[in-house]
């Protein structure tokens, strides 16, 4: 979860005189990046769940003044969500209650400020009233293996920060990575939304690439992390087709016999400290899957609505 409000883009573009009409967007009551309903619908209709990794980022005002007039400063630290926002907090609680996992999305400077992990994890846990065991680093900011050591010390049990923003092929081996030969696990392979969407010219070409990757993962008994930004990329106006491809890749994976679910649930099915993917799959196969199309409530800004 990086961007769930389309605010910094409006303000920045207007300030640059690029398009003054953009400023009207700030006043618009419809927030195009509030896409939780769509994600929940997609997953509930396929009978799967994912993890929402929450970013508790510093504010622009907490950053050095030199960053206040740079686009990078705005992009990284302005227009972020606040986990205390009642709409955000209520949404996270609903996700948690209906079987989604809540994870940590370690903030931009967390790899340099390891004490941030405990602070961010504690804050999100207290807002959602759940236990967080997984992390994915914002912007892939990862020092190996120090960041993993700090995460482990903060109580995180697995990390999904290995991957690439440009490639979808095999990246860091097929097996689970155990940097400390203990129960701390790193998943080796990610399919990031941007890398997937840039892998082909047409949707069919993109899906064919994904099928190849899924087949390789199946052949090698590996784990793939499907890494989509919750929020902006599920807005079809700004990111046409990104949400559809997410849905279709999950469908393909299910058709190929994959187990699809939150990484935390997979982690719990692995025996530690030396269990394999194969062993976890056997253990998961013995459990009952949630019914497809399980009912979930609608979540909108302004609170949870029953319908």
Interaction of residue 232 with Zn ion, rule CB under 5 A = no
- Selected binder of Zn ion within 138, 176, 222, 260 (CB under 5 A): 138
Interaction of residue 49 with Zn ion, rule CB under 5 A = no
Q: Which of residues 173-192 bind Zn ion (CB under 5 A)?
A: none
Which residue is at the shortest CB distance from Zn ion?
138
Which three-class secondary structure state does DSSP give residue 78?
A: coil
Nearer Cβ to Zn ion (158/259): 158
C-alpha 128/C-alpha 105 separation (Å) is: 15
Instruction: Specify whether the CB–CB gap between 287 and 265 falls below 8 A.
Output: no
CB count within 10 Å of CB 148 equals 23
Interaction of residue 2 with Zn ion, rule CB under 5 A = yes
Which span (41-49, 62-70, 133-141, 148-156) binds Zn ion, by CB under 5 A? Answer: 133-141
CB count within 10 Å of CB 287 equals 10
Number of residues that bind Zn ion (CB under 5 A): 2
C-alpha 254/C-alpha 93 separation (Å) is: 27
Which three-class secondary structure state does DSSP give residue 151?
A: helix
Which span (76-84, 131-139, 259-267, 288-296) binds Zn ion, by CB under 5 A? Answer: 131-139
Q: What is the DSSP string of 214-264?
A: HHHHHHTT---EEE--SSGGG-TTTSTTHHHHHHHHHHHHHHTT-----HH
Which span (11-19, 136-144, 200-208, 269-277) binds Zn ion, by CB under 5 A? Answer: 136-144
Which three-class secondary structure state does DSSP give residue 101?
A: strand
Nearer Cβ to Zn ion (49/80): 80
Nearer Cβ to Zn ion (2/56): 2
Nearer Cβ to Zn ion (105/157): 105
Interaction of residue 121 with Zn ion, rule CB under 5 A = no
Binding site for Zn ion (CB under 5 A): 2, 138
């Amino acid at each position: 979860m990086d961007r769930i409000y389309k605010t910094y883009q409006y303000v920045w573009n207007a300030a640059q005189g690029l398009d003054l009409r953009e400023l009207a967007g700030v006043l618009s009551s419809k927030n195009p990046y509030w896409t939780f309903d769509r994600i929940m619908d997609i997953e509930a209709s396929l009978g799967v769940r994912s993890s929402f990794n929450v970013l508790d980022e510093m504010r622009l005002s907490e950053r050095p003044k030199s960053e206040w007039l740079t686009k990078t400063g705005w992009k990284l630290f302005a227009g972020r969500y606040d986990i205390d926002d009642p709409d955000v907090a209520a949404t996270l609680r609903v996700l948690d209650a209906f079987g989604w996992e809540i994870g940590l999305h370690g903030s931009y400077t967390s790899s340099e400020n390891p004490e941030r992990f405990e602070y961010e994890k504690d804050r999100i846990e207290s807002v959602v009233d759940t236990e967080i065991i997984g992390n994915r680093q914002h912007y892939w900011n990862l020092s190996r293996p120090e960041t993993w050591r700090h995460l482990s010390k903060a109580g995180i049990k697995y990390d999904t920060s290995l991957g690439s923003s440009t490639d979808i092929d095999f990246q860091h081996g097929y097996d689970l990575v155990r940097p400390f030969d203990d129960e701390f696990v790193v998943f080796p392979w990610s399919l990031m939304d941007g890398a997937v969407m840039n892998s082909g010219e047409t949707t069919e070409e993109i899906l064919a690439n994904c099928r190849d990757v899924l087949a390789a993962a199946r052949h090698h008994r590996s784990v793939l992390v499907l890494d989509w930004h919750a929020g902006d990329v599920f807005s079809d106006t700004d990111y046409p087709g990104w949400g559809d491809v997410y849905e279709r890749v999950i469908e393909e994976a299910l058709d190929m016999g994959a187990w699809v679910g939150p990484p935390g649930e997979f982690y719990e099915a692995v025996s530690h400290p030396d269990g394999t993917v194969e062993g976890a799959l056997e253990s998961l196969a013995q459990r009952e899957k949630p019914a497809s199309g399980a009912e979930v409530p609608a979540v909108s800004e302004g609170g949870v609505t029953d319908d």
